[in-house]
Amino acid sequence: MAIILARTLLPLLFLTTPYVRSNGLGSSLATHQPRRWSLFIIVITFVLVSLLTDNRYFFLVLAAIFTFLFLRALMLYRIGGTTGDTAGALVEITETTVMLTWVIALNR
């Protein structure tokens, strides 16, 4: 669950956050990302996670979304957007947050 939620946030990051390095490896992805398909996949993933799991897992979705919003705000504040490194950090930190949320709040 942590991997699915964290990796689903990557297209959302590239859709909503400017890419700050014009010659970086992710610049072509950010420029040529199919917006409609990306939004469709993001929405479908979160809907399927909600439908196919127990209601307790909703807290994991919330943890992933809050982590995304917090880290995106930090990226915009510190460097004015995203890079490949910050995208990778988003995935790792989100996975960790979701797993910690599971252990602390839901595994009782």
Tell me the per-residue pLDDT of 63-91, one tens digit each, with 9 for 90 and over. Answer: 999 999 999 999 999 999 999 899 999 99
> Over the stretch 38-49, which tens digit does the pLDDT of each residue have?
899 999 998 888
Q: How far is CA 91 from CA 3, 8, 51, 108, in A?
A: 8, 9, 23, 26
The reported pTM is 0.87
Tally of structural domains, the chain: 1
H or E segment and range at residue 51 = helix 35-52
**Which residues constitute the domain of residue 36?**
2-106
